C-alpha cells in the first residue's frame, strides 16, 4: 500500500539509494502491513578520542609516530639487546617519563570531552509515546521518535518541525553555536500538522518521511512527508531547510514545539561537521622536527667518526690488545663487520642525548598550561555575557603569534548588522522625509529629467511591495527575549534578516504598516488607516545565487501580483530596460555613500500563468533528486519580464573601534581580506571608512566593469592579471633587510574583485590558455595589503648540544673506548629534572615587552611573525653557542686536570670527578643562561630557576652519599662531596660558567648601549585623512583630520 501511494503521489520519482524512510512515531501506515523498524544509529554524541579499552594501545601508537619518541625507543631496545656503555635506564626512564606525562595530558583532555559528551547524552528530554510524555535520556532518542522541546532548550537531534504552541505553526531559533549567527531564524511546521499541538493529537499522526541521507551542509535539506488519514487519499508535502530544526540550535520565543527525529547522534549535521578532521600540527612542531633531523645527522656523523677513529686507533696491536686487557676467545672470533656495527650502535647510544626527548613533553606542557593562561586572561573576559576566552584545542596556541592573513565578513563583523531605513526612490524620485498627505515626501536628487514626485498609485504600490515582499514575523513585545520593539506599539518584528525589518519599518514610517500573517493572509494598514488583506500564495525564498526573493499574493479583488526585491545586478536584467536608468542613478549614488541598496519590482499574473507556476513549483518541491536545480529553473522563469518600481537605501553603521582595529592589524603586518555580498561601490566606501583602504592606497580592480561582458573577457582578464603582476612583482626591487612584510615602507596596493571574475579565474573555460590564472592571481593577492571580495557568495633546548659535545670530545682522550663521561643518573635526570622546569616556566610567564607597549605599537608583532624565532638563522646561532659552551666546559676542566692532584695532600682525582665537574658547569650555565634571558620575573621564575640548581646540588650529595645496594658499582660514592673540598674546583666552576655566559652578557650590554644612544623613531599609525568625493573617485584634501565623520558624513553599511 505504501509503495502504491508513493508511486501515485510522486510519479516518475524512483527510490534512490541516497534516501531514508522514517516512520513518524513508529506507527505503521497500515495495520495489515508488517512494520519492520529500520536500523539507525542511536543519539549518542562521541567527541572523545579514546575509550578505557583502547587508550593504551592507541595513545602509544600515536606517540611513537613522533620522530624523537620512536628514535629513543630504538635506542632503548639497542641498549637492552647490545652490550652498550650506558644502562638502558638512561634512555628508558626519560622515555617512560615523556610518554607518561604526554599520556596523562592527552588522557585528561579526552576525559573532559567524555564529561562534556555525558552532559549532553544524559540530559533529559521528553518523548511522546501513547499520547503521554515520557522522560528519557537524550542518548536514547531513536529515529522516528516524536520529541517535545520547550523554550530556551537546545534541540537534542535533527528534527522535522511538526507543530508548535503558535497557531500559525512557526517557531524561532538561534543557531549561534552552529554558524555564529545570532539573529532569530523562523522555521515553519508542515501545513497539515500545525493544528496537532497537544500530546494526544500529535500521537495520533500517521505519516512517513522520505528524505536524503545525512550530509553536513547546514543549509540544505531535501525531503517530503506523506500524511495518511482514514478513508482519505494520502497527502504529500515537501520538506526543506525551513522545516528542519538542527541539533545544537536553541528554541526562542516559542513555548514549545513537536518534532520527529530524522537524524540522530553522529549522523546529525552538527556532528558531521566535526568529524573527519585531520590532526592539527603547528609551525613550531614542524620546525622542531626539521631541527631534530639536523641533530640526528650530527649524531650519525659523530658515531661514524668515532667508530672509524676507534679502528684506526686499534690498528696498532698494542692499542688493540694491551697486556692488561687481553681479548677473550669469543671477542677474537667475532666477525669484524659485526663488531664495527655493534660499536657504531654503542656510540649512537653514548651520544643519543643530543636529541632531547623531553623537549616534546616541555612543548606539550607549555601548550596545555598555556591554554589555562588564555582562559584566565581578564582582558579577554566579556562582562556582558559573563564569559572569557575558550580554548578548544591547545595544539595551536603558538599560532596566535603567527597570523598573517585575516579573513572577515563585512556585515555584522565590521558593521553592527543593525539596519536603519534611510531613503528610497520611486520612478527616479527621491523620498527621504516622512510622508505628508498634502505634498507627499518627494525630493529631487541632482540633475534628473523628472522633478516633483511619482504618481500616488506608484507610491502606494512601492510601499505595499515593502510590506508584502519579506519573511518578517510579528510577536508581542513582552514575549520577545532581547528585542525591543517600538515604544508606541505593543509588538515587534522578527526576521533572520535585519534588512527586511528595516524595510518594513521604513514603509511604516511612510504610512503603510505590516500587521502580520494569519491563516495565509497578510494584513497591512494603509495611509487611510484601512486594513488590506492579501492571500500569500508562494514565497520564492532568497538565496545567494539568485540574490533576490519574491512573493506571489492575491488581492481581495482576485488580482494576482508578484513582488520581487533584490540586488540591482539581479533585478535590472529582469525588468524593462527603459525603466532602469532613472533608478540606477540613485542606486549608484547611495552605494557610493555606503548604503545597502535593494531594487523593487513587480508584475501582474494572469490566472493561467499562475496555475502553471503553481504546478511547476509543487512538482519541483516534491522532488528528492536535484530539487534545488528544478526550483531554480522555476524561479528563473517566474521572475522575468517584471516592471521596476524603485529602490531602497539602508544604513548599517560601523562597529566601534573597527577602523582602529584594522589599522592596527595593518601596522602589525597582517593582510586583511573582506568578503561581502554587497554592491562593489557600497563595499568600497565601507572599506575606506574602516581604513582597510587608505587614501594613498592604489586600487587594482578585477570586476565585471574592468573585465567586461564581451566574448573577449578572458583575454581582457589575462591582460589585467599580467599588468598587475608586472606592477607588483616584476617591477618591484627585492626587499633587502628591514622588516618582514614591509609594505608600510612603500606604495600600498589594494585589490577589489567580484564573484563573477573570481569564478572566471578559478574555473576558466577548457579551451582558454588560462591554466596559470590561479598562480598569477595568488601572487598578486600576496603582494596586496588588503583585498576586498565583493558580490560573493621554545628553542633553548639546543643547549642539549653543549651537554653531549664534551662526551664526544672525551672519546679522543679515552681511546674511543665508549667510556661515558657522565654518570648514568646524571644522563637520566638532566632533561627530566635539572633543566625542564625553568624552560617551562619561561615559556609560560616571560614577557619581553609589557602589554602597554605591545598594544600601542602593533609593528612589534612582525618581530615574531612568520615563525621568526624558529627560522634557520636563530637555530644556527643557538647551535654555534652550544658548540662554544661545550668546548669551554670540556677543555676548561681538561686544563684544570693537567695536574690531577687538586688537593695539597697529593690525592689524585679520577675520571668520574672530571665528568662531574663538567656536568656541574653545564647545569649552572644553561640555567643561568635562562635567567639572563628572563626579563619578567615572578616568584615562580625564582622558585624554579634557583630551585633547580638547589635540587641538583642536593641530588648530587644524596646520590653520592649513600651506598646503593642495587648498583653493581659504587663509582659515584662521595665523589661530589670530595670534589667540592678543592678550592681549584670551586674556582673552575665559577670561571668556566662566566666564560660560557660572557658572549651573551656582552651581547646584552652592547644591545642596551645601542638602544640608549640610538633611540628608534616611534612608530606612528597611519593617519586617516579626509577625502571628498569627485565625479570619478576620491581626492585627498589638504587638511588632515583624524575623524572622517567630522568632514564627510559617510554612510556605512
Q: Which residues are catalytically annotated?
A: 409
3-state secondary structure of 551: strand
Contacts 24+ apart (CB under 8 A), 755-759: 755/789, 755/790, 755/791, 755/792, 755/793, 756/704, 756/791, 757/702, 757/703, 757/704, 757/707, 757/717, 758/702, 758/789, 758/792
Residues forming a β-bridge with 210: 21, 224
Separation of CA 1005 from chain center: 42
Question: Measuring CA to CA, which residue among 263, 272, 262 is closest to residue 216?
Answer: 272
Task: Give the number of residues written for the chain.
Answer: 1053
Task: Tell me how far apart the alpha carbons of residues 359 and 366 are, in angstroms, rounded to a whole number.
Answer: 10
Cβ neighbour number for residue 330 with a 10 Å cutoff? 7
Which three-class secondary structure string do you get for 520-549?
CEEEEECCCCCEEEEEEEEEECCCCCCCEE
Cβ within 8 Å of residue 765, ≥6 positions away: 714
Only one residue has cell 638563522, namely 873
Question: Hey, what's the cell of 352?
Answer: 643519543
Only one residue has cell 511522546, namely 128
Task: Tell me how far apart the alpha carbons of residues 989 and 742 are, in angstroms, rounded to a whole number.
Answer: 46
Task: Tell me how far apart the alpha carbons of residues 650 and 504 are, in angstroms, rounded to a whole number.
Answer: 11
- Over its C-alpha atoms, the chain yields an Rg (Å, rounded) of 38
Question: Hey, what's the cell of 370?
Answer: 598555556
Task: Tell me how far apart the alpha carbons of residues 728 and 784 are, in angstroms, rounded to a whole number.
Answer: 8
Task: Tell me how far apart the alpha carbons of residues 666 and 1019 are, in angstroms, rounded to a whole number.
Answer: 13
Task: Tell me how far apart the alpha carbons of residues 1045 and 626 are, in angstroms, rounded to a whole number.
Answer: 50
Half-sphere exposure of 489 (CA within 13 A, CB side): 15
Cβ within 8 Å of residue 111, ≥6 positions away: none
Question: Hey, what's the cell of 474?
Answer: 510579528
Cβ within 8 Å of residue 1020, ≥6 positions away: none
Task: Tell me how far apart the alpha carbons of residues 440 and 427 are, in angstroms, rounded to a whole number.
Answer: 14
Class of residue 403 by CB neighbours under 10 A (exposed 0-12, middle 13-18, buried 19+): middle
H or E element: which one contains 451? none
Question: Measuring CA to CA, which residue among 183, 190, 200, 153 is closest to residue 169?
Answer: 190
Task: Tell me how far apart the alpha carbons of residues 693 and 662 are, in angstroms, rounded to a whole number.
Answer: 10
Task: Tell me how far apart the alpha carbons of residues 158 and 215 are, in angstroms, rounded to a whole number.
Answer: 12
Amino acid at each position: 500500500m505504501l509503495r502504491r501511494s508513493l508511486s501515485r503521489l510522486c510519479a516518475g520519482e524512483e527510490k534512490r539509494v541516497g534516501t531514508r524512510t522514517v516512520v513518524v512515531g513508529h506507527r505503521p501506515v497500515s495495520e495489515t502491513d508488517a512494520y519492520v523498524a529500520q536500523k539507525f544509529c542511536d543519539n549518542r554524541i562521541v567527541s572523545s578520542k579514546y575509550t578505557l579499552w583502547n587508550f593504551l594501545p592507541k595513545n602509544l601508537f600515536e606517540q611513537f609516530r613522533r620522530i624523537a619518541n620512536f628514535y629513543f625507543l630504538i635506542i632503548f631496545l639497542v641498549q637492552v639487546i647490545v652490550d652498550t656503555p650506558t644502562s638502558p635506564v638512561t634512555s628508558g626512564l626519560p622515555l617512560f617519563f615523556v610518554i607518561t606525562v604526554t599520556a596523562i595530558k592527552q588522557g585528561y583532555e579526552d576525559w573532559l570531552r567524555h564529561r562534556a559528551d555525558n552532559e549532553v547524552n544524559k540530559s533529559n528530554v521528553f518523548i511522546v509515546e501513547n499520547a503521554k510524555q515520557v522522560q528519557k535520556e537524550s542518548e536514547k532518542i531513536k529515529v522516528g521518535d516524536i520529541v517535545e522541546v520547550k523554550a530556551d532548550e537546545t534541540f537534542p537531534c535533527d528534527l522535522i518541525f511538526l507543530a508548535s504552541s503558535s497557531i500559525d505553526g512557526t517557531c524561532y531559533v538561534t543557531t549561534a553555536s552552529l554558524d555564529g549567527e545570532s539573529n532569530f531564524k523562523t522555521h515553519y511546521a508542515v501545513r497539515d500538522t500545525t493544528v496537532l499541538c497537544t500530546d494526544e493529537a500529535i500521537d495520533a499522526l500517521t505519516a512517513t518521511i522520505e528524505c536524503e541521507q545525512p550530509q553536513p551542509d547546514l543549509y540544505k535539506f531535501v525531503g517530503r512527508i506523506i500524511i495518511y488519514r482514514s478513508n482519505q487519499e494520502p497527502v504529500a508535502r515537501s520538506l526543506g531547510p525551513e522545516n528542519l530544526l538542527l541539533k545544537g540550535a536553541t528554541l526562542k520565543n516559542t513555548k514549545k514545539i513537536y518534532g520527529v527525529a530524522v537524524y540522530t547522534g553522529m549522523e546529525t549535521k552538527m556532528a558531521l561537521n566535526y568529524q573527519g578532521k585531520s590532526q592539527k600540527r603547528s609551525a613550531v612542531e614542524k620546525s622542531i622536527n626539521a631541527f631534530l633531523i639536523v641533530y640526528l645527522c650530527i649524531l650519525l656523523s659523530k658515531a661514524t667518526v668515532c667508530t672509524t677513529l676507534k679502528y684506526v686507533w686499534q690498528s696498532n696491536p698494542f692499542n688493540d690488545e694491551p697486556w692488561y686487557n687481553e681479548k677473550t676467545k669469543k671477542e677474537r672470533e667475532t666477525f669484524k663487520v659485526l663488531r664495527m656495527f655493534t660499536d657504531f650502535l654503542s656510540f649512537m647510544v653514548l651520544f643519543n642525548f643530543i636529541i632531547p626527548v623531553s623537549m616534546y613533553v616541555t612543548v606539550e606542557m607549555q601548550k596545555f598550561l598555556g591554554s589555562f593562561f588564555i582562559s584566565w586572561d581578564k582582558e579577554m573576559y566579556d562582562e556582558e555575557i559573563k564569559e572569557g576566552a575558550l580554548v578548544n584545542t591547545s595544539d595551536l596556541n603558538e599560532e596566535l603569534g603567527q597570523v598573517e592573513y585575516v579573513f572577515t565578513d563585512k556585515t555584522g563583523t565590521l558593521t553592527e548588522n543593525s539596519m536603519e531605513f534611510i531613503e528610497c526612490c520611486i520612478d527616479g524620485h527621491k523620498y527621504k522625509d516622512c510622508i505628508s498627505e498634502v505634498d507627499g515626501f518627494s525630493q529631487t536628487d541632482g540633475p534628473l529629467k523628472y522633478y516633483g514626485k511619482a504618481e500616488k498609485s506608484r507610491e502606494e504600490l512601492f510601499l505595499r511591495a515593502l510590506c508584502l515582499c519579506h519573511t518578517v514575523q510579528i510577536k508581542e513585545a513582552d514575549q520577545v527575549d532581547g528585542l525591543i520593539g517600538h515604544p508606541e506599539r505593543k509588538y515587534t518584528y522578527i526576521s533572520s534578516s535585519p534588512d527586511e525589518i528595516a524595510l518594513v519599518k521604513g514603509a511604516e514610517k511612510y504610512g503603510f504598516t505590516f500587521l502580520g500573517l494569519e491563516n495565509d493572509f497578510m494584513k497591512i494598514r494603509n495611509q487611510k488607516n484601512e486594513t488590506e488583506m492579501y492571500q500569500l500564495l508562494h514565497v520564492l525564498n532568497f538565496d545567494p545565487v539568485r540574490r533576490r526573493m519574491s512573493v506571489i499574493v492575491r488581492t481581495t479583488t482576485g488580482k494576482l501580483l508578484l513582488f520581487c526585491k533584490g540586488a540591482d545586478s539581479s533585478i535590472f536584467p529582469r525588468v524593462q530596460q527603459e525603466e532602469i536608468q532613472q533608478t540606477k542613478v540613485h542606486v549608484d549614488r547611495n552605494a557610493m555613500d555606503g548604503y545597502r541598496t535593494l531594487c523593487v519590482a513587480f508584475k501582474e499574473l494572469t490566472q493561467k500563468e499562475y496555475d502553471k507556476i503553481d504546478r511547476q513549483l509543487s512538482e519541483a518541491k516534491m522532488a528528492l533528486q536535484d530539487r534545488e536545480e528544478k526550483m531554480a529553473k522555476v524561479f528563473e522563469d517566474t521572475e522575468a519580464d517584471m516592471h521596476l518600481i524603485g529602490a531602497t537605501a539602508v544604513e548599517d553603521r560601523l562597529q566601534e573601534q573597527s577602523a582602529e582595529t584594522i589599522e592596527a592589524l595593518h601596522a602589525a603586518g597582517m593582510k586583511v581580506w573582506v568578503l561581502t555580498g554587497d554592491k562593489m561601490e557600497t563595499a568600497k566606501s565601507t572599506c575606506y571608512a574602516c581604513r582597510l583602504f587608505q587614501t594613498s592606497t592604489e586600487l587594482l580592480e578585477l570586476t565585471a566593469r574592468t573585465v567586461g561582458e564581451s566574448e573577449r573577457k578572458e583575454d581582457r582578464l589575462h591582460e589585467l592579471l599580467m599588468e598587475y603582476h608586472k606592477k607588483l612583482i616584476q617591477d618591484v626591487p627585492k626587499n633587502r633587510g628591514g622588516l618582514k612584510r614591509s609594505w608600510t615602507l612603500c606604495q600600498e596596493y589594494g585589490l577589489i574583485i567580484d564573484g563573477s571574475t573570481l569564478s572566471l579565474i578559478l574555473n576558466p573555460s577548457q579551451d582558454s590558455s588560462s591554466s596559470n590564472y590561479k598562480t598569477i592571481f595568488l601572487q598578486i593577492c600576496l603582494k596586496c595589503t588588503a583585498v576586498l571580495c565583493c558580490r560573493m557568495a621554545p628553542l633553548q633546548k639546543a643547549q642539549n648540544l653543549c651537554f653531549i659535545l664534551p662526551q664526544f670530545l672525551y672519546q679522543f682522550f679515552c681511546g674511543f673506548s665508549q667510556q661515558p663521561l657522565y654518570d648514568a643518573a646524571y644522563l637520566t635526570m638532566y632533561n627530566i629534572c635539572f633543566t625542564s622546569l625553568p624552560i617551562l616556566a619561561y615559556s609560560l610567564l616571560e614577557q619581553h615587552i609589557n602589554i602597554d607597549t605591545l598594544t600601542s605599537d602593533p609593528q612589534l608583532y612582525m618581530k615574531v611573525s612568520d615563525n621568526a624565532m624558529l627560522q634557520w638563522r636563530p637555530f644556527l646561532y643557538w647551535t654555534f653557542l652550544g658548540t662554544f659552551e661545550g668546548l669551554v666546559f670540556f677543555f676548561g676542566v681538561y686544563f684544570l686536570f693537567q695536574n690531577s692532584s687538586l688537593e695539597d695532600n697529593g690525592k689524585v682525582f679520577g675520571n668520574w670527578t672530571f665528568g662531574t665537574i663538567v656536568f656541574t658547569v653545564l647545569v649552572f650555565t644553561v640555567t643561568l643562561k635562562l635567567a639572563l634571558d628572563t626579563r619578567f620575573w615572578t616568584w615562580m621564575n625564582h622558585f624554579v630557576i634557583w630551585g633547580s640548581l638547589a635540587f641538583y646540588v642536593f641530588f648530587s650529595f644524596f646520590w653520592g652519599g649513600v651506598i646503593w645496594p642495587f648498583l653493581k658499582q659504587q663509582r659515584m660514592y662521595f665523589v661530589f662531596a670530595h670534589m667540592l673540598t678543592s678550592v681549584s674546583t670551586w674556582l673552575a666552576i665559577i670561571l668556566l660558567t662566566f666564560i660560557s655566559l660572557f658572549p651573551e652578557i656582552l651581547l646584552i650590554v652592547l644591545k642596551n648601549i645601542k638602544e640608549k644612544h640610538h633611540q628608534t623613531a616611534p612608530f606612528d599609525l597611519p593617519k586617516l585623512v579626509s577625502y571628498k568625493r569627485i565625479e570619478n573617485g576620491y581626492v585627498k584634501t589638504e587638511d588632515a583630520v583624524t575623524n572622517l565623520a567630522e568632514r564627510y558624513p559617510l554612510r556605512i553599511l
